Chains A and B, each alone.
Chain A
């Protein structure tokens, strides 16, 4: 049975189509795998009965020759997507018992395509973090272990850390994630899988618990570039209920997989050679350039001069938007409530008991930078820097088609669970190579490129032009083939 968990999403589709196995068999294998993998703490809520019911419906459709595009494909969703009648927590105590009466557009599209969800995956509280450390339900665990300290549990990255851990450990064929500052690409890199953050507006944000609305974007995570492309096609598309979603046709992303990159120009930004960039990571970056060059691409040095201001800009804008978005949690309409003698006290009590300390810290920073007297110096200044950072990319894309960078500065999370730094800024530095694309609204993909000396996965990131996802899939596939990355060894448990 576990053999059905080892295959890729693309192979599973073929197998279902050829009736080599049924959707029920595929789902049963993953449900039993989910139990074996429980110590990864990847799920907040599991829905195995629902999954098996849906699998039966898939099988009926397949039997009748009425199969939907992804009928029977077993996935799971980050617990930031509202799912009708299935608890949605955003990994926060304040939403511990929240049952949405409606379904997010992206998860609805996945359902309409016939996918089967195993449940809701762990994340940092309200997606604020890079490790799952801030989840009210405890951290998830990376199925990879370092050679040097095999007994130490490592973070899977974040915020989509439950997503990356379960896919890497062969617990789902593919999953959804969301990315506000790197939350798809960084955990994908740390768990040795592929993660794609689409262009802002490519996927609907309706029904995704809002963190920073001008930066948030949903995207797929899977074990191969092809699987990611297959999922993206279903997730993407215009939604009249999200005015920031873009009304453009959705390409068949998987069909361009093997189109190659002959003649493509790849930019290498000198500003990404930062202090703190791991030597091993730097080596893989150079290898990445070589692989692309050997496949017919041209490597061009470029400059993104405002790169060093991207993190400070992000850590003003994202908390500012978050402080506004999270004002809806008032203990009145939904979410947990702690009584008070006045309405204000009710708000204060409910919010103080319901939010964790990182979320509170970001609300406080956001409130401060938006408050009278500080707005111009912080918020407005950050919005202007965002302009400059975005213009850097616009200029660069006059010369190149894509940009190649490392996904993260260090080999998979060098931090063991329980040994995390207490200073928030040092955790924020993890996002250094990923936040720029969110600020500029660009698509980015992280593809595993190899293992560190310590045996932990490393990822390379490709950044594309707006709506340049097809380019990323073509180049991502070239890197995937050239790297010959050895995925995680399949084990009963991790």
Chain B
């Protein structure tokens, strides 16, 4: 992993972000800096280690019951575009 292949256009697309040519170059440079720095991790052999995603081992389950409802207005309160009790988006069907 010492040579970091970095397809900045693809990463931007996956992140749903746009950047000018100049910004793309700046992001590429700083991403390379970060990736070079984190490559320190390579020197540890972790082949026999279990990964952990968090510290809480067993999260409690709760009953699947409705505890609110009829709050459509509250949910839509911050929507930039709304109509007929729904979120507005650009046309998505041809």
Contact = CB atoms under 8 A, between A and B. Distances in A.
A213 B56 CA distance: 12
A309 to B, nearest CB: 6
Given A244-B59, A347-B16, A348-B16, A333 B27 contact: no
Interface in B53-83: 53-56, 59-60, 62, 71, 74-75, 77-81
A308 B55 contact: no
A365 B90 CA distance: 29
B37 to A, nearest CB: 5
Which of B38, B56, B74, B75 has the largest number of chain A CB atoms within 10 A? B38
Contact of A351 (B17, B37, B60): B17
Interface in A298-348: 306, 308-309, 312-313, 315-316, 323, 327, 330-337, 339-348
A41 interface: no
Contacts of A440: 55
A246 interface: yes
A315 B38 contact: yes
A339 B90 CA distance: 8
Contacts, number: 158
A367 B46 contact: no
Contacts of A382: 41
Interface in A262-282: none
Which of A306, A308, A367, A380 has the largest number of chain B CB atoms within 10 A? A367
Contacts of B44: 306, 309, 385, 388
Contact of A99 (B18, B50, B55, B77): B77
Contact of A364 (B15, B54, B77, B79): B15
Which of B46, B49, B80, B81 has the largest number of chain A CB atoms within 10 A? B80
B15 A323 contact: yes
A419 B66 CA distance: 53
Interface string B23-48: 00001001101110111110010100
A247 interface: yes
B21 to A, nearest CB: 14
Contact of A441 (B12, B39, B49, B55): B55
A201 B31 contact: no
Nearest to B38: A312
Chain A interface size, under 10 / 10 to 19 / 20 to 34 / 35 or more: 35 or more
A486 interface: no
A326 to B, nearest CB: 9
A463 to B, nearest CB: 14
B17 A348 contact: yes
A130 to B, nearest CB: 15
A309 B60 contact: no
A331 B87 CA distance: 10
Contacts of B54: 200, 213-214, 244, 441
Given A364-B15, A424-B30, A337 B80 contact: yes
Contacts of A240: 62
Contacts of A152: none
B89 A351 contact: no
B93 to A, nearest CB: 11
A243 B54 CA distance: 12
A340 B90 contact: yes
Nearest to A331: B80
Contacts of B80: 331-332, 334-337
B74 A386 contact: no
Contacts of B60: 243, 247
Interface in A363-407: 363-365, 367-368, 371, 377-378, 380-388, 390
A349 B18 contact: yes
Contacts of B75: 101, 333
A424 B27 CA distance: 11
Given A214-B54, A364-B27, A387 B16 contact: no
B40 A346 contact: no
Contacts of B38: 312, 315-316, 378
Nearest to B28: A364
Given A316-B38, A364-B12, A384 B31 contact: no
Contacts of A365: 31, 34-35
Contacts of A387: 49-52
17 contacts: A200-B54, A200-B56, A201-B56, A331-B80, A340-B90, A341-B90, A348-B18, A352-B17, A365-B34, A365-B35, A367-B14, A378-B38, A383-B53, A384-B51, A387-B49, A387-B50, A425-B37
Given A201-B56, A367-B11, 14 more contacts: A97-B78, A99-B78, A200-B54, A213-B54, A243-B62, A347-B16, A360-B15, A361-B34, A364-B8, A364-B11, A367-B15, A381-B41, A385-B46, A440-B55
9 closest residue pairs by CB, A with B: A441-B55, A383-B51, A334-B78, A337-B80, A312-B38, A384-B46, A214-B54, A101-B74, A384-B49
